[in-house]
Amino acid sequence: DQQVKQNSPSLSVQEGRISILNCDYTNSMFDYFLWYKKYPAEGPTFLISISSIKDKNEDGRFTVFLNKSAKHLSLHIVPSQPGDSAVYFCAASPPAYSGAGSYQLTFGKGTKLSVIP
Amino acid sequence: DGGITQSPKYLFRKEGQNVTLSCEQNLNHDAMYWYRQDPGQGLRLIYYSQIVNDFQKGDIAEGYSVSREKKESFPLTVTSAQKNPTAFYLCASMEGWDRGLLGYTFGSGTRLTVV
């Protein structure tokens, strides 16, 4: 049972336009969400995160939106640049104090973003 | 610079052999994790450890073993019992399992190929 879903395996966007990557989750216990960026043959690097007490978090060209009622989050990249071409993973976790056993992230399968010059 | 070092970057193994992947961190992080990445599968948790001398199975632990004798080190052994070991393996750490807002720091990965 996939608790974090990224339904688009790939996305192509023109340079300078907006990239929107989507993520849905099913576990209502999740309250913290992260986006990671991964280049081939490298480890993922942290991009941006959002807590469930917020509905938006912005960092430069990257903005994450959270819609708790819909259990949906999205990552917006504006403007998109060729260097943004990578696989983007959405990840989620329950509260650390939830007693769910331990802290661990649940990842989606990733979306491969291609930014075309 | 602090970080996580995975070695080797590429590893070839004959069928039926055990092989150990190294993961070392100098971030003074408490928790460490092993993930496996396969095409179209995302990241799947193999094992994790919150503290020295303690570790827990993840979603796909069969055919793998780990140890956590030191805070800095969390080696993963891929045994001959793992049916499909060819994959990209990622090690990660986190400052404290009760301070989860920081997320993971990942190593650069090890590509294991069974020949």
For position A93, what pLDDT does the model report? 85
Task: State the average pLDDT over residues B43-55.
Answer: 92
Which tokens in the block code for residue A72? 């949906």
Instruction: Choose the closest CB to A32 out of B42, B92, B101.
Output: B101
Where are the strands (E) in B1-115, listed by range?
4-7, 10-13, 19-25, 31-38, 42-51, 54-57, 64-66, 76-78, 87-94, 105-106, 110-114
User: How distant is the alpha carbon of residue B88 from its chain centre?
Assistant: 10
SS3 at position B4? strand
Those of residues 21-40 in B touching chain A at CB distance below 8 A are 31, 33, 35, 40
Identify the pLDDT of residue B103.
77
User: CB A96 to CB B98 under 8 A?
Assistant: yes
**Cβ–Cβ below 8 Å for B103 and A46:** yes
Exposure string (b/e) for A83-113, b if CB count within 10 Å is 16 or more?
ebbbbbbbbbbbbbeeeeebbbbbbbbbbbb
> Average of pLDDT values for B72-92?
94
- Which of A6, A101, A104 is opposite residue B33, by nearest beta carbon? A104
